[in-house]
Structure formats: structure tokens, C-alpha cells
Amino acid sequence: MQETNRTEISTLGEFGLIKHLTKDIQLKNESTRYGVGDDCAVLEYPESKQILVTNDLLMEGIHFDLTYVPLKHLGYKSAMVNLSDIYAMNGTPRQMVVSIALGRRFCVEDMEDFYAGLKMACDAHGVDIVGGDTTSSLTGLAISITCIGEADKEKVVYRNGAKENDLICVSGDLGAAYMGLQLLEREKAVFDQQIREARKTGNKKLEEELRQAQPDFSGREYLLERQLKPEARRDIIQALDEAHIRPTSMIDISDGLSSELLHICTQSKVGCRIYEERIPLDYQTAVMAEELDMNVTTCALNGGEDYELLFTVPLGLHEEVCQIKDIKVIGHITKADLGCALISRDGNEFELKAQGWNPLKD
Amino acid sequence: MQETNRTEISTLGEFGLIKHLTKDIQLKNESTRYGVGDDCAVLEYPESKQILVTNDLLMEGIHFDLTYVPLKHLGYKSAMVNLSDIYAMNGTPRQMVVSIALGRRFCVEDMEDFYAGLKMACDAHGVDIVGGDTTSSLTGLAISITCIGEADKEKVVYRNGAKENDLICVSGDLGAAYMGLQLLEREKAVFDQQIREARKTGNKKLEEELRQAQPDFSGREYLLERQLKPEARRDIIQALDEAHIRPTSMIDISDGLSSELLHICTQSKVGCRIYEERIPLDYQTAVMAEELDMNVTTCALNGGEDYELLFTVPLGLHEEVCQIKDIKVIGHITKADLGCALISRDGNEFELKAQGWNPLKD
């Protein structure tokens, strides 16, 4: 949060703030008939399209920590999380409704930063911000984003269509966002400790220096980028479309590969085998996992926040799917009674479990 | 919150909780193609319809106080607030996406209560719950509801269509929900004071009796109902449709008559005259205002949470609109340069100001 150049939100009020933040929005989509400024946004879609709707509610302290997430990045990521859900249905995002509840410690400039990130993401993906609600919170920041998209009727892909022998594919690499989070958490803990010590000794100058200091993340940039600025995989959806491949099932990886694959298997009433050696990992992820004495496969399986796409295609499309950049086949679908398993590098079979990030678990 | 029969949410987890709460949902609308359970809900609307989308974010301590709002009522009201926005566009609500963030003090039974209220409202208005997000909160309860509805293309009513000489109409009566809130706040303050005193004297028995006691709200039932269980005015939308009246502008009254009328006038670039003596008030509202030494007109103008409809119709429809039950003409639209004014009972003119509930004001 900026301390300089601070405009209190009360000077604008609720409607003033919305107007200020949305005044320069240019509507881009034909399906957007009316945006911000009435009781509802008004949309119009052709009959050939199905309409996709998703909502995510992001809470400060649970989904993000403002001590190391800049508000602009938060705006960008909040949008991406929702765009990713539309792509996971094989759709195209078109509109977004953004509601925010904020406490008194936030100022107009903070919200400008948040909206700057949000707009950057929406512009990159051709999405219109069409409405929202801005209100106050007694405590932390709460962000609710509803994203609306479209898909041709026969092209929507659900989680429940995986068939025996289908190939299991994943885009990008996994576990990096989780490693980025670990890195940020570690630096925060170190920083807090140093500040406490400087305070204890009454060393004001050291305390000030520490507050200005930036931790050295060189060689870890990819991990940070994956955590702070994830990208929803529109490129994969477009590449699949160009190759005339319609996945039989699809989901985006927000809670970890294991958890998402189990959703597909449960809903499709099938089992699966995936191979540890085929799980795509970045070099920085592996190095960081070793440094933290963590199993990198566990990180990739359960880490979460990758926002990659996990999908299945018929076995016959093996060659076509392998030709697409940044897609890797990691296993195949089996009969349900074979269960869901990971085959380790040494050939052992382990049952897949949803140990992914569960915000409601103890 | 229930203390008996408490099931911790962690026993179900996020996906288990959503499944538990939504398992008995029967989809009612043809436009709902896929509900809860995938990355997105899937909808399908005919080309003749425009699609209306609205979202509200409700925060504990700002929009509701759980010390006197039962969770079932909160669920009901949360739905109504959103349905009201769809009706305010002259639309029909069809789907709802419900996201909740909750702290550890809530249990599964609490969420069952909340959903019971939500479902009751949705059933009464023919709306499908098609998805949502359930997550945790470090502090209070946060509720985000997105409502999707439809309207014939030529029937959508905006805030910006009011014309000079149009009649200004309002449904129901105003100020009662605000009086209900005052009543609840007063009882809460009295109760807190009594509990504090019982504690100070160490009188455990009295403290227990106080906790079991229900305040006597007899003769104030209407005020409480308006605050705790508001009804979105589908009946008015239907009555207008049956009378072949399409308002020139419309808005729902959530922040008080003044604030909403100013939205219509600003967006329509017109002025207005409304008459104090014509503002519809309930007897209980007037009695309560007198008891609290408040001006009842001020309460009606600025109280908020009425969820009545404010709309304008051409002057020529005076007779038709007056024949509809529960609609009252309170004034007329003027040229913009005449400003927005209330004509008091003694004939004086007062400029209308948006002093309504502003959650971002100091």
C-alpha cells in the first residue's frame, strides 16, 4: 500500500469510487450491451453459444498476503484465476463483474493499482469489466470476481467426459507457484525476525534499512512470476482448437494435479495411471524443492495455483497432441476399478490422494 | 449460530461442503444446462433475450449483524437483494452463483441454515443455484451472490430513460426496513447493557435468563419483517407487464429513495419534483419514527433496504398505473435545470440529497 499521495476513499464515496475506477473502460465485445452503471450489466449472446459463468471469492490472509503481494499483481491474478475457469470449459471469456470490500487502510491509489492489474489482464484476454459492487469491510480485503464467457454448444468440455484409454495431458509445468509461495513466506519470516531484533536493540537506522531492503530473488524469478503473475492458458485452448482437438474432459489446476485429476476421474467414473517421470517440472522448481528439503513430485502433485490445464484426449490423437508446444502426456485413463495411481520412477504404484490446498481443512 | 448438534466444516472440506449443501438442488429452468460441479455453470438463452448479470458482496459487520440476524434469514435476504436488481431491469431472474467465505466459528449446521433461506428465496422466484465457491475467512462471514436473469430485448428498462413530465412511481412503502434496523439495534444495546450489569454483580442466573429472553416486538412485526425478510417485487414487474406498461426508467430502492431518484435523474439528465405527502409510509414506521424522535420523511428518503421499485412512466399512463395495487405516484420528472426537489407538506421546496447509506463514507 502506498503511503505517499494518499486520497481517502471517503472523499469519493462508493459510487464516486466505482465511477473513478471504471471511467476509462472501453467495451470491446459485441455481446456486451451495457456495462457499469445500472442495476445489472446487459449481455446478448447468439443462440449458437452456450454461456459460461464462474465466480471466485478471494479473502485477504487466506488467498493472498499483502505484505508481499503488490495490489497491481493481486488485481492481475484475481482476473487470471477466473479466466482460467472459462478456458477450462474450452470457452472464451467475455465479461467480468468485480466486487470489492475494503477496510479503511486502503486508499483510492491502492484501488487504482488493483484496477490497473485487473484491466491489464482483461485487456490481454479481450474481456470487458461490466459491473460490480464496492463496499467496505471491517477487516481485510475481499474480492469477488464473476467471469462470463461463451463456447460453441458442441465444444463445451466438462470434467465428466474422460473415457478408458484416453491420454492424460497437462500444459506447462507444475509446482512452481507453490515454490514461489514458499520462497516469499520464507523471506517474510526472515524479514520479520530481523525487524524484531532491530527493534529489540533499538536500532532505528537498521530497522529503516531493513524496511527499504529488497530480498535477492535472482535465479528464482520464474517461481515468483508463477506465484505473483500466473497466466491463464488461452494459448493452449487456441492451439487445441487449431489442431481440431476437443478434449474429452478438462479442468484447470488450481488445487494441485492430484486433486484435479481425482475430480475428473470421480466425475467421469474412471481410474487413471500417471507417471512420475513425465510430470513436467521447471529447473527452478526442482532446485528450490531440494533447498527446502521437499519432494518435488509432492509439490507438483499437491502444490496448487499453477493455473495450467489438465485434460484428456482419445488415444488416437497421441501424435497430434504431442505436436502442440507446451503440452505433455503424463498418463492414461483406466477402468474405474483400477483406482487412481501414480507410478513412481522405480515402478511402484501409489494411490493418488487429494492432499491439495483445502481452505476449509483444519 | 447453533451450539447443539455441531458438525465441524473441516470434517467435510470445501468440496464436501458444497456437495452437501447443493445435493438436493433440482434445476428448474430450461436455460440452465449445467449447474454446480464443474469449473463453470453452463447456460443457454434464446437469441430473443438479453441476459442480465448482477453481483452483491455482503460483509459481516457492515451489511449484517449475526447477533440478531438468524442465518436462515440472512440466506433469504442475500438472495432477495440480488433478485431485486434483476427485477429493477424489468427482467426475470433465472440463475444464482453463491460464494461464501466463513471463519471457524461456523459449523455445517450454520451453512445448512443459510442455504435453507437461500433455497427458499430461489424456489419462490424460480431461480436455480448453479454454482459457487466456498472458502474460509480469517474473520467474519463474506457472501458474494451473482444473479443472472433474462428479459426480452425490447423490454429491458435502464436508469437513463426518464423523460420530462413522466410520472415518478414507487411500490410498497418506505422507511420500514430502516426502522426495523433501529429497533434491533436498540434492543441489542439494551441487552448488552443488561448482560454487562448481570456480570458485574456476578448474577449467573440472571445472565442466563437474559440470554434466553426474547425481546417483545409485538406491534412492530412489520418493521422486523421488512428488515429481516424483505421481498423482491416480482409482483410489480408482473402487474406492469400485464397492464402493458413498460417504465421509461427503473431502479430498486436499496440505498434510500433520494439516492436512487438522483441516480435516475443524473443518468436520464432530468430533474424531478416529489411530494412529501405522497411518499408511502406504513403506520408502524410512523409510530416508530415518532418514538425515536426521528423525522419519518427523512427515514423514508434515506433509510435504505426497502427493496421497493422506483420507476417512471409517461404521463399518459396515469390512470393505468394508478389502478395497479401497491403502486403510488409520488411526483414527476422535470427539465434538468429545475433540479431535484422535495415539496414539503407546507409547500416548501427542498433540494434532494443522497444522504442514503454509504458504506464507504466516514
pLDDT bucket at A4, cuts 50 / 70 / 90: low
Which of A314, A337, A48, A308 shows the shortest CA–CA distance to A161? A314
Residue A9: list chain B partners with CB under 8 A: 360
Q: What is the mean pLDDT of chain B?
A: 93
Contact (CB, 8 A) for A139 and B137: no
Please, which residues bridge with residue B54 across strands?
B147
A32: helix, strand or coil: strand
Four-residue CA torsion sign, B1, B3, B5, B9: positive
Q: Is A57 close to B142, i.e. CB distance below 8 A?
A: yes
Residue B311: list chain A partners with CB under 8 A: none
Four-residue CA torsion sign, A192, A81, A1, B65: negative
| Tens digit of each residue's pLDDT (9 = 90 or more) over A235-260 | 999 999 999 999 999 999 999 999 99
One DSSP character per residue, B16-58 reads HHHHHHHTTPPP--TTEEE-TTSSSEEE---TTEEEEEEEEEE
Please, which residues bridge with residue A273 across strands?
A332, A341
Residue of chain A with shortest Cα separation from B33 = A50
Q: What is the pLDDT of residue B251?
A: 98
At residue A32, φ and ψ (nearest 5 deg) are -90, 110
Instruction: Judge whether residue A220 has pLDDT over 90.
Output: yes
| Tens digit of each residue's pLDDT (9 = 90 or more) over B260-287 | 999 999 999 999 999 999 999 999 999 9
**A78 shares contact with chain B (CB less than 8 Å):** no
CATH class of the domain at A167-179+226-351: alpha beta
Q: Is A360 close to B43, i.e. CB distance below 8 A?
A: no
Instruction: Judge whether residue A362 has pLDDT over 50.
Output: no
| Tens digit of each residue's pLDDT (9 = 90 or more) over B180-194 | 999 999 998 988 888
Q: Is B54 close to A97, i.e. CB distance below 8 A?
A: yes
CB within 8 A of A50, min separation 6: which ones? A150, A151, A152, A153, A156, B33, B42, B43, B44
Q: What is the pLDDT of residue A171?
A: 98
Q: What is the mean pLDDT of chain A?
A: 93
- Establish whether this prediction's ipTM goes over 0.95: no
Residue A10: list chain B partners with CB under 8 A: 360-362
Cβ pairs bridging A and B (under 8 Å): 229
For residue B155 the three cell numbers come to 423490454
**B227 shares contact with chain A (CB less than 8 Å):** no
How many beta carbons lie within 10 A of that of residue B212, not counting itself?
6
Phi-psi region of B28 (alpha: psi -120 to 50; beta: other; left: phi over 0): alpha
What is the widest separation between alpha-carbon atoms in chain B? 70
Kindly report the CATH number that applies to the domain delimited by B157-357: 3.90.650.10
Contact (CB, 8 A) for B91 and B149: yes
Where do the CATH 3.90.650.10 domains begin and end in chain B? 157-357
Contact (CB, 8 A) for B49 and B151: yes
Angle at B145 between CA B90 and CA B95, to 5 degrees: 55
According to DSSP, the β-strands at A308-313 and B128-131 are unpaired
Rounded Cα distance between B141 and B98, Å, is 13
What is the widest separation between alpha-carbon atoms in chain A? 70
Which residues in chain A (232-251) have CB-CB distances under 8 A to chain B?
A: 250-251
Which residues in chain A (84-103) have CB-CB distances under 8 A to chain B?
A: 85-86, 88-89, 91, 95, 97, 99-101
Name the residue among B46, B85, B360 with its Cβ closest to that of A40.
Answer: B85
Kindly report the CATH number that applies to the domain delimited by B9-154: 3.30.1330.10
Place of cell 470434517: B11
Which of A301, A281, A170, A282 shows the shortest CA–CA distance to A236? A170
Name the residue among B13, B33, B53 with its Cβ closest to that of A361.
Answer: B13
Q: What is the distance of C-alpha A74 from the center of its chain?
A: 11
Closest Cα of chain A to B81: distance in Å?
Answer: 11
Residue B59: list chain A partners with CB under 8 A: 101, 135-138, 142
Closest Cα of chain B to A216: distance in Å?
Answer: 30
C-alpha atoms less than 13 angstroms from C-alpha of A145 in its C-beta half-sphere: 29
Query: How many residues are given for chain B?
Result: 362
Rounded Cα distance between B41 and A197, Å, is 51
Q: Is B139 close to A142, i.e. CB distance below 8 A?
A: no
- For chain A, the distance separating the N- and C-terminal CA atoms, rounded to the nearest angstrom, is 31
| Tens digit of each residue's pLDDT (9 = 90 or more) over A122-147 | 999 999 999 978 898 987 899 999 99
Which of A118, A112, A120 shows the shortest CA–CA distance to A18? A112
For residue A213 the three cell numbers come to 531492503
Contact (CB, 8 A) for A51 and B4: no
Angle at B140 between CA B135 and CA B144, to 5 degrees: 55
Mutation test of the interface with chain B: which of A10, A360, A362, choosing the one with the most B Cβ atoms within 10 A?
A360
Domain A9-155, architecture per CATH: 2-Layer Sandwich (3.30)
Q: Is A135 close to B360, i.e. CB distance below 8 A?
A: yes
Name the residue among A33, A41, A101 with its Cβ closest to that of B57.
Answer: A101
Name the residue among B45, B91, B136 with its Cβ closest to that of A360.
Answer: B136
Q: What is the pLDDT of residue B3?
A: 52
Instruction: Judge whether residue A190 has pLDDT over 60.
Output: yes
pLDDT bucket at A207, cuts 50 / 70 / 90: confident
Instruction: Judge whether residue A336 has pLDDT over 60.
Output: yes
Instruction: Judge whether residue A59 has pLDDT over 70.
Output: yes
For residue A98 the three cell numbers come to 468485480
Q: Is A56 close to B133, i.e. CB distance below 8 A?
A: yes
Which of A264, A283, A285, A259 shows the shortest CA–CA distance to A361? A259
Instruction: Judge whether residue B134 has pLDDT over 90.
Output: no
According to DSSP, the β-strands at B249-253 and B308-313 are antiparallel
C-alpha atoms less than 13 angstroms from C-alpha of B205 in its C-beta half-sphere: 0
Please, which residues bridge with residue B361 across strands?
none
Contact (CB, 8 A) for B172 and B280: yes
Arithmetic mean of pLDDT, A73-94: 98
- For chain B, the distance separating the N- and C-terminal CA atoms, rounded to the nearest angstrom, is 31
Q: Is A97 close to B146, i.e. CB distance below 8 A?
A: yes
Rounded Cα distance between B115 and B121, Å, is 10
Residue A37: list chain B partners with CB under 8 A: 159, 267
Contact (CB, 8 A) for B87 and B239: no
Name the residue among A43, A144, A251 with its Cβ closest to that of B53.
Answer: A43
Residue A355: list chain B partners with CB under 8 A: none
Rounded Cα distance between B37 and A17, Å, is 35
Contact (CB, 8 A) for B355 and B258: yes
Angle at B9 between CA B109 and CA B138, to 5 degrees: 110
Angle at B28 between CA B27 and CA B33, to 5 degrees: 55
Where do the CATH 3.30.1330.10 domains begin and end in chain A? 9-155
Type of residue found at B334: T
According to DSSP, the β-strands at B128-131 and A134-136 are unpaired
For residue B182 the three cell numbers come to 433501529
One DSSP character per residue, A199-268 reads HHTT-HHHHHHHHH-----TT-HHHHHHHHS----HHHHHHHHHTT---SEEEEESS-HHHHHHHHHHHH
pLDDT bucket at A3, cuts 50 / 70 / 90: low
Rounded Cα distance between B236 and B311, Å, is 11
Q: Give the predicted TM-score (pTM) of the model.
A: 0.94
Question: Which of A4-13, A64-73, B125-134, B314-323 shows the lowest mean pLDDT across its residues?
Answer: A4-13
CA torsion B299→B304→B307→B310, rounded to 10°?
70
Residue B13: list chain A partners with CB under 8 A: 358, 360-361
Instruction: Judge whether residue B80 has pLDDT over 80.
Output: yes
